[in-house]
Amino acid sequence: MSTLEQKALEYHRAGGAGKIATAVTKSVATQDDLALAYSPGVAVPCVEIQRDPALAYEYTAKGNLVAVITNGTAVLGLGNIGALAGKPVMEGKVVLFKKFAGIDSFDIEIDETDPDKLVEIIASLHPTFGGINLEDIKAPECFYIERKLRERLSIPVFHDDQHGTAIVVGSGLLNAVEMTGRDIAEIKIVCSGAGAAAIACLELILSLGARRENIFVCDSKGVLTTARELDGEKKAWARDTVATRLSEVIEGADVFLGLSGPGLLSQADVKKMGKQPIIFALANPEPELRPELVREVAPDAIIATGRSDYPNQINNALCFPYLFRAALDSGATTINQEMKIACVTALAGMARSDARFGKDYVVPGLLDPRLLSGVTPKIAQAAFRSGVARKDLDVEEYAARLVKLAETLI
């Protein structure tokens, strides 16, 4: 067992087992306190909420509470390890919500793989939460589950593996394209991977100005072509080409987007790409091609990975805390495309405004103290402008409030 593995086990076992606990937010020091917290006083807010359900956001923790839900079918790079084995990851997500945005959350691991049953279970939990973060649910079921929940519920439902990855990829790609003097409408993109994260990334990149005819997608069987029998989300990305392998379509590519597995990009492939290639090798923990190997054949490449030990880490924690913070505070009923694009442009702008901006800094760092107050208000504005939020927050006052919140976070 490696030193890292030993440290990880010790970390999760030390003190109280796991990474999270609950806290009481009101005084319960006296008999009067108890009479208000529970019987008989607790009946009063119950009656008020029955009369007006919106009052749950004033009298309960619902408005600052997010469910982190998985069935364990696609956990990190570990695959279908089951709901219980995925619990440490979900607890970690709870920690990130609290650390970066002051949002309370519960992790809920559900031992169910039938998509319709899973939808029913998750939908039945909606009275408890102000938002639902779906996590580590495999494709293609994840698309169906999120869509059905969004149709049924009037609280934000967000599959982070899809949209979180897409948002951070989008922000980094915008900066890389600008830095290399390219036009996003003209860039050729080759994507390795056709799962939930890959499809979401490609859809968002289209929203940023890329063109579908310039994008080639590969799955484990090769290039998605019209000659193959494809269904669902993959079918929309089929190209009319005789090419069957990644190495055949990467000639002259400006961008490689990897959301697949280790070793699926070679140095020979990189050599075929355009000048100053943009390579987002995001397979985790081992990328499609290690950055040092890319640099051997393309020293001027702009490279991003999902790892924290290389520059340009594409990490969902750069966006999901701020999306949910904005959604909860603005009373948004969903997280829509306008909010996602606002997050993309805010993250890209934050990186560009930093003195470190360059090929090794195309997205902000996870611990950038400006993120909460700099990104969140722009998302909240987009929510209100697009008609999904109940509250039009004063941007300056809201940003100032978030600066104070950031000072209190763990």
Helices (H) and strands (E) in the chain, counts: 17, 10
Q: Please list, in sequence order, all residues whose beta carbon lies within 8 angstroms of the beta carbon of residue 237, skipping any fewer than 6 positions away.
A: 194, 199, 202, 212, 215, 217, 224
Is 253 among the domain residues?
yes
For residue 258, the cross-strand partners are 192, 281
Does the structure show a pLDDT above 70 at 410? no
Alpha-carbon span 103 to 259, nearest angstrom: 29
Does the structure show a pLDDT above 80 at 77? no
The pLDDT value recorded for residue 242 is 95
Backbone angles phi, psi at 58, to 5 degrees: -100, -35
- The reply to whether 23 and 92 lie within a common domain is yes
Of 205, 206, 218, 214, whose CA–CA distance to 169 is shortest?
Answer: 205
In the chain, the percentage of residues whose pLDDT exceeds 70 is: 100
- Of 131, 162, 193, the residue that ends a domain is 162
End-to-end CA distance of the chain: 31
Q: Please list, in sequence order, all residues whose beta carbon lies within 8 angstroms of the beta carbon of residue 320, skipping any fewer than 6 positions away.
A: 96, 97, 133, 158, 160, 164
Q: Contact at 8 Å (CB) between 290 and 341?
A: no
Polymer length in residues for the chain: 410
CB neighbours of residue 240 within 10 Å: 8
| Mean pLDDT value across residues 228-240 | 92
Per residue in 61-74, pLDDT (tens digit) is 999 999 999 999 99
| Mean pLDDT value across residues 256-271 | 97
Alpha-carbon span 386 to 58, nearest angstrom: 25
pLDDT band at 120 (very low <50, low <70, confident <90, very high): very high
* 93 carries an active-site annotation: yes
Q: Which domain holds residue 383?
A: 316-409
Tell me: is residue 135 an annotated ligand-binding position: yes
Contacts 24+ apart (CB under 8 A), 24-30: 25/61
The pLDDT value recorded for residue 345 is 98
Backbone angles phi, psi at 197, to 5 degrees: -65, -40
Q: Contact at 8 Å (CB) between 46 and 113?
A: no
| Mean pLDDT value across residues 133-144 | 94
Copy the structure tokens of residue 260: 């697949």
What CATH number is given to the structural domain containing 268? 3.40.50.720
Copy the structure tokens of residue 216: 């080639």
Is 110 among the domain residues?
yes
- The reply to whether 117 and 228 lie within a common domain is no
Does the structure show a pLDDT above 90 at 234? yes
- The reply to whether 228 and 265 lie within a common domain is yes
If one counts the domains in the chain, the total is 3
Is 360 among the domain residues?
yes
Per residue in 154-191, pLDDT (tens digit) is 999 999 989 999 999 999 999 999 999 999 999 999 99
Is 213 among the domain residues?
yes
Helix (H) or strand (E) holding 345: helix 337-352
- The reply to whether 323 and 292 lie within a common domain is no
- The reply to whether 323 and 397 lie within a common domain is yes
Tell me: is residue 80 an annotated ligand-binding position: no
Is 364 among the domain residues?
yes
Per residue in 196-205, pLDDT (tens digit) is 899 999 999 9
- The reply to whether 284 and 348 lie within a common domain is no
- Of 237, 268, 301, the residue that ends a domain is 301
- The reply to whether 137 and 188 lie within a common domain is no
Copy the structure tokens of residue 406: 């950031």
Is 326 among the domain residues?
yes
Is 5 among the domain residues?
no
- The reply to whether 191 and 260 lie within a common domain is yes
Q: For the chain, what is the mean pLDDT?
A: 96
DSSP 8-state class, residue 147: H
- Of 272, 301, 330, the residue that ends a domain is 301
| Mean pLDDT value across residues 334-351 | 98
Alpha-carbon span 270 to 190, nearest angstrom: 11
- The reply to whether 190 and 297 lie within a common domain is yes
Tell me: is residue 136 an annotated ligand-binding position: yes
- The reply to whether 146 and 231 lie within a common domain is no
Instruction: Pick the catalytic residue from 62, 93, 234, 340.
Output: 93
- The reply to whether 148 and 34 lie within a common domain is yes
Of 161, 100, 168, 162, whose CA–CA distance to 351 is shortest?
Answer: 168
Tell me: is residue 315 an annotated ligand-binding position: yes
Q: What angle do CA 189, 194, 197 make, to 5 degrees?
A: 90
Alpha-carbon span 200 to 382, nearest angstrom: 20
CB neighbours of residue 43 within 10 Å: 10
Q: Position of tokens 């997608």?
A: 217
The pLDDT value recorded for residue 24 is 95
- What's the burial of 131, exposed, middle or buried (CB within 10 Å: 0-12/13-18/19+)? buried
The pLDDT value recorded for residue 285 is 86
Is 171 among the domain residues?
no
The pLDDT value recorded for residue 396 is 96
- The reply to whether 324 and 207 lie within a common domain is no
Q: How far is CA 269 from the centre of its chain?
A: 29
Of 326, 364, 359, whose CA–CA distance to 342 is shortest?
Answer: 326
The pLDDT value recorded for residue 231 is 83
Instruction: Pick the catalytic residue from 7, 11, 38, 235.
Output: 38
Q: What angle do CA 267, 273, 277 make, to 5 degrees?
A: 95
| Mean pLDDT value across residues 104-130 | 98
* 98 carries an active-site annotation: no
- Taking phi over 0 as left and psi of -120 to 50 as alpha, with beta for the rest, 294 belongs to alpha
What CATH number is given to the structural domain containing 61? 3.40.50.10380
Top pLDDT among 318 and 232 is at: 318
Per residue in 354-364, pLDDT (tens digit) is 999 999 999 99
The pLDDT value recorded for residue 256 is 98
H-state helical runs in 131-222: 141-152, 160-179, 196-207
* Helix, strand or coil, per DSSP, at residue 134: strand
